[in-house]
Amino acid sequence: MHEAQDMLAGQKPDDDLILSVRDLAVHFPLGGGGWLGRGKRMLRAVDGVDLELKRGECLGLVGESGSGKSTVALSILGLLTPTRGRIVLDGQVVTSRPSGDRKALARTVQMVFQDPYASLNPRQTVRRTLEDPLRVHGVTAKSEIEERVETMLRHVGLRPEQADRYPHEFSGGQRQRIGIARALILNPRIVICDEPVSALDVSIRAQIINLLLELKDTLGLSYIMISHDLGVVEHMSDRVAVMYLGRIVENGHWREIFERPAHPYTQALIAAIPDPLRQAPLATTGGDLPNPLDPPNGCAFGPRCRYAEAVCRSEPGPVLETRPDGHAVRCWRSEEIAGRAAVASIEAGAN
């Protein structure tokens, strides 16, 4: 049945897939509602997201704060229970597993957090930070624990003798290296990087990005790179999925997304990249993300879109269908918008 649904959605079953997310929704009921809770409002943090991740691939998941990126990540990690949808991880459906299976899931997928200052326990040494997950997951031999800790520290560019120091004795970049080591100590196959360099100095960001890319190749990892910074995503990702108000509005190969963006929101994000060499006059946008408790009628991006027409204000947008070239867009005017972006890119290059 699910294979038939995948085919109808334009996605063929693929043995290279390590992660498949189908129709993921996460809704949070809010307080109030009067007698017996009737009339409660619902926050639709994620509302019908489809994603795929192939082995050895980096998928960039981008969008403004509040678009639902981290909620998708927490659902994949098993830390949130979806309202509906299906998550298949390395051939196993994980959305139907009991909550006790979170421990098994942790051996497959881990996260590198945004803030290296807040994500480490200040009372634990680096050694304790890396040893505890191993013991929890059944590694008891002291020699094996010591070897894995030392090997992982070397992998992230730290010295084994630094293992007995506390987080406050390290710089921000070194702390993020410790966070990366903690995420990798169980040998996961998927790592979700949630804004891993946004809290770091600009001079350190390139080092951490290059480290992540090196580890991806060395250890055979697959990444989901969550960010609102398309500059980072452009450098790291093989494919990019753009989220807006709980939905994917565009996804495809990174080059197609950056050179021929077909959704006005994607164009606005690219236009915001601080790159003096990027001369193409892409679309810009104003205003803030709409209130998810009171989304606009029609296309969610309509009130901020300079291309919006009557259909955009009355219809939510076409179904996100993947084209033969792997590009998918949720926009009524995507062909026209992508054409304009391509012409602008060509003209900028000629100048």
What are 245-259's pLDDT values in tens digits?
Answer: 999 999 999 998 998
Residues 221, 291: Cα–Cα separation, whole Å: 36
Residues 19, 21: Cα–Cα separation, whole Å: 7
CB atoms under 10 Å from CB of 14, counted, come to 12
Residue environment code for 35-52, b if the CB has 16+ CB neighbours within 10 A, otherwise e:
eeeeeeeeebbbbbbbbb
Residues 318, 247: Cα–Cα separation, whole Å: 12
Weakest mean pLDDT among 114-118, 178-182, 222-226, 346-350 = 346-350
pTM: 0.86
Residues 246, 290: Cα–Cα separation, whole Å: 11
Q: Which of 201, 181, 199, 200 is nearest to 191 (CA)?
A: 181
Q: Give me the architecture of the 17-29+42-237 domain, per CATH.
A: 3-Layer(aba) Sandwich (3.40)
The per-residue pLDDT for range 188-247, each reduced to its tens digit, is 999 999 999 988 888 899 999 999 999 999 999 999 999 888 888 998 999 999 999 999
Domains of the chain: which residue ranges?
17-29+42-237, 262-349
Which H, E and C letters describe 233-269, residue by residue?
Answer: HHHHCCEEEEEECCEEEEEEEHHHHHHCCCCHHHHHH
- Report the amino acid identity of residue 273: I
Name the average pLDDT for the chain. Answer: 85
| Backbone torsions φ then ψ of 117, nearest 5 degrees | -85, -35
Residues 155, 150: Cα–Cα separation, whole Å: 9
pLDDT score recorded for residue 323: 73
